[in-house]
Structure 1
């Protein structure tokens, strides 16, 4: 498998990783390798990302992300953590020399890895060994031993993610509810016409109560949150483009009016759409 570097190439369309990543062109560039898992793990893992950075302390670079509705596993030289979904804005500041090996799970995987409702992990993270027991320490040790000699070596990066893949195969095959929640998230994220919970219920022949229970248990989130988060991802993508008015974006995303979009964007990101858009002028 080759890393997907499309998001790093100048002039290309922002892929779904960049929709979530609220980059600032003024920040120090960070090299990030991104690639898909082996085909047999597509129901459990969305992708891997491996950032490697060398950032002068006086140019510390904040990484701000509107997280997808999935859990994360991140191992660095300094810490190893399991993350539930951050319903707000996720932020980490990079400085000095460092690397990370990140796993973005598929929606179905969170409950399988934690062995319980993912709602218990919403807006929360923990040391990997606390989250998944002794296996967490073993994974951390093996990944660090693999990456330590040369974190920029792509072969070593892939070897590190292969360690995660071997471990994740123990959670397959995905159960029926897992397949259903994967499909629901894919539907909402890839269809901009989905603006109401009723549409999700109709598409998957679920009552609103059943849908609420499923997403709460498997994602730690509400169906309404899924729709709002997709809208914000799309808004961030559109705001990078020149010549597009905020009123146009609000209408395209199904907002009642421009102020509703401004309110949602500012509440979650801490900045107005205008301020975010100005970064790319």
Structure 2
């Protein structure tokens, strides 16, 4: 069982700037929820001018509670998204979020997660019970409220959820996984079954998951200093450097070279 949340910056564009502008923390959920929840994320900010943060989303569902000073708290469910996510923060505020493990929202939602892909829905419109304010108080208070909320939603254990979650985690951890048909053969299943399983439980197909994790790895490595982009493209399964550059630019809105320059 994990003792601490992961500390990588995968998906976060210019993570150093994020940490200079806001207080960003990750916390683990209660042990009974670890099978479903990757981590909670907590953000607090006091800004003198607007700050835009951009994120290349993971293949995961997030439930987000957002509170602006002296304003009402909002809550929404954000499904897996193929496009770059950008949010502009201003003034004084807080956000408390649940990042589910890929496939981990299915036992709460109890419907195909593909229904949420590319969509953001108010929590009140999903049929799930809506809590009182989550964001007030310290980190422990906020996490206890999230634990109570998810426990109250009563996730229904499902062996297919566990299978989908384990398969996605394998893709994330093993950069040698580059092709869906090879991955299916490794596990003795058909590509069609793999596709159905991913769409139902994760919300996107296995090819999308592979490409997204490899692109996130390229983004994270770009933040670490100068890169051999041609060699990285080969390592991550792209046909050539030009293919990596096109996908990086299409998703992030900026070329790899320009992104690396912006960080320095």
Select 2:184's aligned residue among 201, 210, 219. Answer: 201
Greater helix share, 1 or 2? 1
Structure 1 Cα separation of the partners of residues 227 and 238 of structure 2: 16
1:48 deviates by 0.3
Residue of structure 2 equivalent to 1:51: 43
Residue of structure 1 equivalent to 2:22: 30
The answer to whether the aligner puts 1:267 opposite 2:241 as a matched pair is: no
Q: Which runs of 4+ in 1 moved over 2 A?
A: 3-7, 23-28, 107-115, 153-168
The answer to whether the aligner puts 1:66 opposite 2:50 as a matched pair is: no
Pick closer, same or farther for the CA change 1:29–1:111 going to 2, 3 Å.
Answer: same
Structure 2 Cα separation of the partners of residues 202 and 5 of structure 1: 31
Pick closer, same or farther for the CA change 1:114–1:5 going to 2, 3 Å.
Answer: closer
In the TM superposition, what are the counterparts of 1:1-281 in structure 2 within 5 Å? Answer: 7=7, 15=8, 18-23=9-14, 25-26=16-17, 29-56=21-48, 58=49, 60-77=50-67, 78-133=73-128, 135-136=129-130, 139=131, 141-144=132-135, 147=136, 150=137, 153-168=138-153, 170-172=154-156, 174-281=157-264
Q: TM-score, normalised by structure 1?
A: 0.85
Residue of structure 1 equivalent to 2:70: none
Moved more, 266-275 or 26-35: 26-35
What SS does the corresponding residue of 1:74 show, helix, strand or coil?
A: strand
Unaligned regions of 5+ residues in structure 2, if any? 68-72
1:116 deviates by 1.1
What SS does the corresponding residue of 2:126 show, helix, strand or coil?
A: helix
Pick closer, same or farther for the CA change 1:108–1:219 going to 2, 3 Å.
Answer: closer
8 Å CA contact retained: 1:101, 1:160: no
Pick closer, same or farther for the CA change 1:84–1:26 going to 2, 3 Å.
Answer: closer
What SS does the corresponding residue of 1:19 show, helix, strand or coil?
A: coil
1:63 deviates by 1.6
Length, aligned pairs only: 256
